[in-house]
Amino acid sequence: MLSLLLASLHHLTLLGLIVMVSRQGFLLQQSPLPLAALGKLDKGVGMGSGFMLVIGICRVLWGEKGWAFYQGNPFFWAKMATFVLIGLLSIRPTLLFIRWERAHARDRSYTPPDKELAVSRQFIVIELALVCLLFIFAAAMARWPF
């Protein structure tokens, strides 16, 4: 039962992250830009990512497959590397969102530069594309060895 609970939480957390990051991409298209909403979503993404990591560690340690299964599984390590890459890519938009919120707090007429908006959108699209790889690696991982 613990394994089912952990797997369910893991999957639901990933779904929540996908929704939040997709929503950020949508909000970046809006005018005027809803900076407060972007910031709140970004905090949610950060907390959700941490929660997902903790749940994943619990699955590895206490799930039905155990550490031995994951340790030698190349798709597990590919999935972990992809998760880290997504996290690293999310740093740039996060820093921009923080900068924009601070600038807006000082000057309510502040609008982020078009180039920074474009960069944020690109990073979010890349993050979401890499989530597709997460799903592929997860499916391959579960079936290893073929």
Question: Whole-model pTM?
Answer: 0.94
CA 87 to chain centre: 6
Q: Where are the beta strands (DSSP E) in 1-146?
A: none
Question: Predicted confidence band at 72 (pLDDT cuts at 50, 70, 90)?
Answer: very high
Q: Please write the tens of the pLDDT for every residue from 25-41.
A: 999 999 999 999 999 99
Contact yes or no for 52/6 (Cβ under 8 A): no
- pLDDT tens column, 74-119: 999 999 999 999 999 999 999 999 999 999 999 999 999 999 999 9
Sign of CA dihedral 22, 25, 30, 33: positive
